[in-house]
Copies of this chain bind each other. A is one copy, B any other.
Amino acid sequence: MQINDRRIHFLYEAWRSGSMRQASEILEMAPSSISRQIAQLEREIGSTLIEHGRREIVLTEAGHAVLEYYRNRHSSLEMLNAQLRDLSAARTGHVKFAIGEGFLGEALYRTLDEFMDGYPGFTLSLSVTDTTEMVRLLLEDEVHFGLGFHPLSHPQVVSRFRAAVPLKAIMHAAHPLADRSSISIAELCAEPLALMGQAFRIRQMIDLAAADSGQLVSPVLVSNSIPVLIRSACARRAVTVLPEFSVRSELSNGQLVAVRIVSSAMQSVYVHLITRRNRILSPQVMALTEQMRKRLAPTALYAPTDGKEPAAS
């Protein structure tokens, strides 16, 4: 059945004001239109709604039922309007994104706190994933954006910006190399290392840099968990290689130190914020990505608008 709610509105006004003519003044229309629309509504519904041949508007039972429906619809509409107001005022919404394991840490938490303070009605979905999974999530629109190291190249995935996050040698403050301003790849490889598995981008970068120097990486501890690596450094059992922001709190309280590694490959490691191509992001999502950009590194660079170059691995 095809029911036009606009016609019910006419019926409602006619009933509320008592006559079609009064309704016509309220609605600023000719009475004839109202009469016709109500007649049409009756044809659509298949039963009479008002007692015709009367001076005033008297509803039939069916008419009362229709108006009850109309009131239902009206309150539903009010709810919708409230929702839409909230949305356009950005009071509610949802942001979903994915990050690589390395980003769990104080910097991220502070960024999330900032965002949630700034947009109290917003909810967040955060997936901690590996790079392959991140690309899948992006392509299927299951996340708005992803944050990771040199993500896999994919024609449908582009980088919105990148930030240089040089990998550093992370070691205990009491480590013999801790007061050095920089160390070489060879010196690094001579130390007991705690690194991620070879499936991870960070590890792949390290292996690549080491291979360039003719060194072999043979870590004493391999883990896919960054906190495990950090703990091993804190316990003076190993040196690990991570970007500074992953261990920012340990650096600031003096427990660990980060030493520069003499290697162009280690310096030119970039974090990319990636999205699906042509993905339209709401202002709130944009705000979150901007906060992340600032937090990651004040020197973060915006990717070229075509977004192709930085996505190359």
Q: Which residues of A contact B (CB under 8 A)?
A: 1, 3-6, 45-47, 51-54, 58, 60-62, 65-66, 68-69, 72-73, 76-77, 79-81, 83-84, 87-88, 92-94, 141, 278-280, 282
A62 to B81, CA, bound (A): 10
Asked whether A69 lies within 8 Å of B65 as measured between CB atoms, the reply is no
> Could you say which of A66, A77, A279 has the most chain B C-beta atoms within 10 Å of its C-beta?
A77
Q: Please report the C-alpha to C-alpha distance between residue A76 and residue B8 in the assembled complex, in whole angstroms.
A: 14
Neighbouring B residues of A54 by C-beta, 8 Å? 278, 280
Q: Is the CB of A76 within 8 A of B87?
A: no
A58 cross-chain contacts in B, Cβ below 8 A: 141
CB distance from A25 to the nearest CB of B (A): 19
Chain B contacts of A76 at CB under 8 A? Answer: 69, 72-73, 76
A3 CB contacts on chain B under 8 angstroms: 77, 80
CB within 8 A of A73: which of B73, B83, B87, B279?
B73
| Set of chain B residues within 8 Å of A61, measured between Cβ atoms | 87, 92-94, 282
Known: A61-B94, A94-B61. A47 touches B278 (CB 8 A): no
User: CA A76 – CA B65 in complex, angstroms?
Assistant: 11
* Nearest B residue to A60, CB-CB: B282
Interface pairs (19), CB distance under 8 Å: A1-B81, A3-B80, A5-B5, A46-B84, A47-B84, A47-B87, A47-B88, A53-B280, A54-B278, A60-B282, A61-B282, A62-B83, A62-B87, A62-B88, A65-B80, A68-B80, A69-B77, A72-B76, A76-B76
Q: Whole-angstrom distance between the alpha carbons of A62 and B83 in the complex?
A: 8
Contact present for A87 and B72 (CB under 8 Å): no
Using known A-B contacts A53-B280, A79-B69, A278-B54, determine if residue A84 contacts B45 with beta carbons closer than 8 Å. yes
Q: For residue A61, give the distance in angstroms from its CB to the closest CB of chain B.
A: 5
Measured between beta carbons, the chain B residues less than 8 angstroms from A72 are: 76
User: In the assembled complex, which residues on chain B have CB atoms less than 8 Å from the CB atom of A65?
Assistant: 80, 83-84, 87
With a CB–CB cut-off of 8 A, which chain B residues contact A278? 53-54
Q: How far is the CA of A94 from the CA of B53 in the complex (A)?
A: 21
CA of A193 to CA of B233 in the docked complex: distance in angstroms?
117
A1–B77 Cα distance when bound, in Å, is 9
Q: Which residues of B contact A84 (CB under 8 A)?
A: 45-47, 62, 65-66
Complex CA gap A87/B64 in Å reads 11
Min Cβ gap A57→B in Å is: 12
Contacts of A5 in B (CB 8 A): 5
Complex Cα distance A66/B76, Å? 10
Residue of B nearest to A75 (CB): B72
Point out the residues of chain B lying under 8 angstroms from A83, CB to CB. 62, 65
Whose C-beta in chain B lies nearest to the C-beta of A3?
B77
CA distance A68 to B79 in the complex (A): 10
Smallest CB separation, A39 vs chain B (Å): 16
A4 partner residues in chain B, CB cutoff 8 A: 6
